[in-house]
Amino acid sequence: MTPLEDAQEFVLGQCPPQQPIEVDRRMAGGLVLAEPVVSAEIVPPFDNTAVDGYAVLAADVATAAQSPVDLIVAGEIAAGAAPDRPLASGEAIRIMTGAPLPAGSDAVVMVEDSERLGVDGDGTERVRLSASVPVGAAVRRAGDDVKVGDEMFPAGTRVTPAVEAVLASVNAQTVVAYPRLRVAVLSTGDELIDDGSPLELGQIRESNKTMLIGMVAEAGCEVVDLGVVRDDETELENVLRSAALECDAIVSSGGVSMGDYDVVKAVLGRIADMTWMQMAIKPAKPFAFGTLERADGTPVPIFGLPGNPVSSLVSFELMARPAMRRMMGHSRLTRTSLVAVADEGFQRGVDGKVHFARVNGEFGDDGRYHVRPVSAQGSHQLSATASADAMAVIPDGEGLPAGADVAVLLLADLA
Ligand code: AMP
Ligand code: MG
């Protein structure tokens, strides 16, 4: 049996990051930057006010906190408008958040510290200000967020919604990123029914492909659904060859275990460079990995996952997902792992394998993550695993007693 780490290292070694491309910023969400983003603009683009209030000269309101100061309201500037005149001593200009600070003023008094005095007979409006503010108060200086030439995001940054927003704010139209992986998903087996028709003896409903399509999409890839392929060599070969032409990776479920009727093995063995593994883990011991050469010489990775649904899920999590993330330029390949408390014991026997028990977990008042196994742990019992939060890593041996520390690998973000 191959230790999991060796199998992972072998697979990752053959799944290097893809060639970076220039991507429209609007299409870059979720991708990883392959080159740093350097700003060609400053943010904010001009000195502006952080509050609604009155632009003033700080010196004019130096004593306003002790005794309020009346100033002439010399105009009003809304966000989006440009000041039409500079401010002179003795004046205030009413100003809205985000509006440019008028020349001549050096601070803003909040509207909360003002009282409108109305308009005189000669048409002069006055305001009473009751706060003293230092020079620069409530002023956001041009370029105090981003300067021209600033490296905002280094290579390796994932484009989150906030990163997208910053790219928009500096008018970056394109970024250089690792492309989204296009992944073909298929399931194999004569017993699989996916059209809703009544089951005959020996037939079961297809479920792995449905799951894997979602998991591939959740990993940030584009999915190409290749459907259910019968245990027929010609059909399987045709499907795989055309998948290799239009996709960057292929995920297939079924037909990789020892005792399998050898259609998948025969076809992959013939058209791809495959390694058939027995990994020292439970579930998901059988696993196949290889590459199928495209006409242009590009090796297209193929992940041959076992057919048992739970094994398929675990195999995808441990083997396929990290490799796909590497191809998309991510540096953190695995899910969040943490040391949890086993609220129940984990019984197991010595078998040379690491067991991945599916668990539910929650944070306790002690600040620690507490886990217990889901009710059913069989590799065909997907319904219990479907509601699991994490996998507990139980090393080879006699198991763990209740209360013990246990390493867990989250299966999704903490809800
Ligand atoms: P295999 O890996 O092809 O030997 O399949 C192992 C077990 O998983 C068998 O019980 C299959 O019927 C079942 N199985 C294989 N593929 C699927 C699938 N796509 N959906 C649900 N069960 C499957
Ligand atoms: Mg099969």
In 100-141, beta strands by DSSP E: 107-110, 114-119, 125-129, 139-140
Q: In the structure encoding, which two tokens stand for residue 204, read together?
A: 């079961």
pLDDT of residue 414: 74
**CA 227 / ligand 1 centre spacing (Å):** 14
Q: Which amino acid is at 398?
A: E
Pocket test for ligand 1, best of 186, 190, 192 (most atoms within 8 A of CB): 192
Classify the C-alpha dihedral 70-76-78-82 as positive or negative.
negative
**CA 218 / ligand 2 centre spacing (Å):** 25
**CA 306 / ligand 1 centre spacing (Å):** 7
Here the contacts of 158-165 (C-beta below 8 Å, separation 24 or greater) are 158/30, 158/31, 158/32, 158/33, 158/330, 159/28, 159/29, 159/30, 159/31, 159/32, 159/33, 160/29, 161/29, 164/25, 164/28, 164/29
pLDDT of residue 412: 86
Name, in order, each residue with C-beta under 8 angstroms of 26's C-beta and a sequence gap of 6 or more: none
In ligand 1, the atom with minimum distance to the C-alpha of 260 is 4
pLDDT of residue 226: 97
pLDDT of residue 396: 98
pLDDT of residue 258: 76
In ligand 1, the atom with minimum distance to the C-alpha of 228 is 19
- All structural domains of the chain: 4-19+180-327 (3.40.980.10), 21-41+148-178 (3.90.105.10), 48-140 (2.170.190.11), 337-410 (2.40.340.10)
Q: Which residues of the chain have pLDDT under 50?
A: none
pLDDT digits (tens, 9 = 90+) for 168-186: 999 999 999 999 999 999 9
Buried b (16+ CB within 10 A) or exposed e, 242-271: ebbeebbbbbbbbbbbeebeebbbebbeeb
In ligand 1, the atom with minimum distance to the C-alpha of 264 is 3
Around ligand 1, the residues with Cβ closer than 6 Å are 187, 189, 191-192, 204, 206-209, 253-257, 260, 306-309
**CA 380 / ligand 1 centre spacing (Å):** 9
pLDDT of residue 415: 62
pLDDT of residue 257: 84
In ligand 1, the atom with minimum distance to the C-alpha of 255 is 3
* Atom 16 of ligand 1, residue of closest alpha carbon: 307
pLDDT of residue 119: 96
**CA 174 / ligand 1 centre spacing (Å):** 44
pLDDT digits (tens, 9 = 90+) for 232-283: 999 999 999 999 999 999 999 999 887 766 899 999 999 999 999 999 999 9
pLDDT of residue 262: 80
* Atom 19 of ligand 1, residue of closest alpha carbon: 208
Q: Which amino acid is at 165?
A: A
In ligand 1, the atom with minimum distance to the C-alpha of 188 is 16
Residues with CB under 5 A from ligand 2 (ion): 189, 254-255, 307
Phi, psi of 400 (to 5 degrees): -130, 140
pLDDT of residue 260: 65
**Strand partners of residue 224:** 184
pLDDT of residue 11: 98
* Atom 4 of ligand 1, residue of closest alpha carbon: 255
